[in-house]
Amino acid sequence: MDKKLDSAPCGYIVFTKDGHIKEVNETMCTMLSVTKIQLHKKHLHDIISKASRIYFQTYFTPLLMMHEEVKEMYLTFVTPDNVELPTLVNAYLKEEEIVCAVLQMKVRDEYEQEILVEKKNAERIMQETDKAYKQLQGLLQEFEKKRKELTLLNGELEQLSITDSLTGLYNRRYIESRLEDFLEEARNNRVPFGVLMIDIDHFKVVNDRFGHQAGDEVLKELAGVLSSGVRSDDVIGRLGGEEFLILLGSAGKEEAVETGERLCRLAADKVWKSPAVTISVGVSVYEKGDSKLDLLEKADKALYKSKAEGRNRSTCQGVL
């Protein structure tokens, strides 16, 4: 697990669709007063209240299966000493796993209570002497500090839900949602865009020869290569494994093809700190009537063509 995610200011928990826990961060363990080993392979029902079990089965899970995400749902976790911890949960479906960010409501409630108390004090102090006015300024500064802290916590929670923890790029759920946005813009305003599907050549060999830790380093380095080879407003995400997807806004076929070829050159010419790799790229460009599935399938077929013709190259739809 990424160190930043492990020590994030909110809990992080991953479990299977049937509720068995696969991964948690240290913050979650601290909240529950347990270790990661104690939670490993336990069922979620073992650490939530009876009322939350019913809520989880009858509302939380069906809603998640329907929309692939839920936001600001309340669940009550229970420590081994039977201490109940009210929490606010954001969750999304990632392939066969459910990923949750958990914010302990105690923290949020404390901030809100402090804000309310300080606001009332401010109203009273405004009617007092010049000395009280100075005290008011201090209280207002503290109020603003608490508000910013609360906003920051909510922002970090949102960022965790859309980010791939290993590479720092966007995750699959987010980039696919952005693809829908690009499609709507193209249909309504006739704005062209390109889709680049990228795969690392012989990545299994890297893992088998150098180990999975080296493979992770390759993924992180490649994320930097891809980011350096596109515009700041293009959208880059990791689909999973060694596959990446890039959305090129306002890009026609020529620009999309040039970008794919440039990324191949950047990877091939790079001086790698981790084991050196090359990439293969499949390019598709929006055409009238295309759906999300159409664009992904065309990019995937182009990628397959790049692999079949020797790898370390970019292939565009229509040139198959």
The pair of three-digit structure tokens given for residue 84, joined into one six-digit string: 């109940």
Nearest Cα neighbor of 21 from 2, 48, 3 is 48
Phi-psi label, residue 72: left if phi above 0, alpha if psi -120 to 50, beta otherwise: left
CB 131 within 8 A of CB 103: no
CB within 8 Å of 47: residues ≥ 6 apart: 21, 32, 39, 77, 78
CB neighbours of 76 closer than 8 A, spacing ≥ 6? 48, 49, 51, 52, 84, 85, 86, 87
28 SS3 class: helix
Find the catalytic residue in 180, 242, 258, 297: 242
Report d(CA 301, CA 307) in Å as an integer. 10
Angle, nearest 10°, between helix axes 172-189 and 292-308?
110
Is there a catalytic annotation at residue 242? yes
Question: Are the CB atoms for 161 and 154 separated by under 8 Å?
Answer: no
Enzyme catalytic residues: 242
